[in-house]
Amino acid sequence: MIEPPNDVPGDAARQADSSDSGPDSDDPRLFAPATERNRQPILDVLLRVLPNSGLVLEVASGSGEHALWFAQALHPLVWQPSDPDPASRRSIKGHAADAGPTTLKAPLNLDAGAPDWPIAQADGVVCINMTHIAPWQSAEGLVAGAARILPPGGVLYLYGPYRRGGRHTAPSNAAFDASLRAANPDWGLRDLEAMTELTVSHGLVLSEVVDMPANNLSLVFTRT
């Protein structure tokens, strides 16, 4: 388990801890406390940049708490969660079952780095806190996949801690980056400029950067 690097509140740090399971061992739901802190600031951006209807694919949904909350808040938009981790997919189903009827679909087994995705089209793609806790190849696959399934004008939304201009934006992010790389040399905070270069090579342009709480960024890319 990766501990937060210092005492600066930062949901990015705690996101590395995967999730805590529920108290009942039969309960498949996982709980990531950071989701309750960051979901409203993220939703405020999503309300502006996502379409009002259609289907949005979420890559790396984790516990599914975001997925359920966004599905409820963004109705009638249909929310398609996904995660390659079976325990996460069970958790997403558990949270959905608890909520009753929603526009939240059953989770897909989707590895961003795979050459083929189990979905052919989406009106938007959202990925929260994955690019730093996965190899760079996953970021490459995410952007390539989003470019394949988005229509012109469709949005790829990323959230997480990123470096800007070759530098960390806060000491807590630098410490978090070091802890990630110590846990796995292929992990680590990505450069905003590298992400942008990658997206341009797949026909997406950076249309907005939003400063978010706890030294995170929202990155909004648009399919040309």
Ligand X SMILES: C[S@@+](CC[C@H](N)C(=O)[O-])C[C@H]1O[C@@H](n2cnc3c(N)ncnc32)[C@H](O)[C@@H]1O
Q: Which spans of this chain sit near ligand X (rule: CB under 6 A)?
A: 15, 32, 35, 59-63, 66, 83-85, 88, 111-113, 128-130, 133-134, 138
Closest residue by Cα to residue 150 from 107, 192, 102, 207: 207
Cβ 44 to ligand X, closest distance in Å?
Answer: 16
Q: Which residue's CB atom is positioned nearest to ligand X?
A: 62
- Residue closer to ligand X by CB (options 118, 153) is 118
Extract the tokens encoding 143.
């952007």
> At CB < 8 A and 24+ separation, what contacts does 72-75 make?
72/99, 72/102, 72/104, 73/43, 73/47, 74/43, 74/46, 74/47, 74/50, 74/103, 75/102, 75/103
Residue 108 beta carbon to ligand X: minimum distance, rounded to whole angstroms: 10
CA atoms within 13 A on the CB side of 146: 33
Complex with ligand X: residue 62 or 124, whichever CB lies closer: 62
Nearer to ligand X, 34 or 78 (CB): 34
Q: How far is the CB of 144 from ligand X (least distance, A)?
A: 12
Nearer to ligand X, 145 or 154 (CB): 145
Q: Of the two residues 57 and 128, which places its CB atom closer to ligand X in the complex?
A: 128
- Output phi, psi for 43, to 5 deg: -60, -40
Smallest gap from residue 121 Cβ to ligand X (A): 18
- Minimum CB separation of residue 217 from ligand X in Å reads 14
User: Considering only CA atoms, which of 8, 7, 12, 218 is closest in space to residue 133?
Assistant: 12
Structure tokens at 48: 């502006």
Q: Are 82 and 141 in contact (CB under 8 A)?
A: no
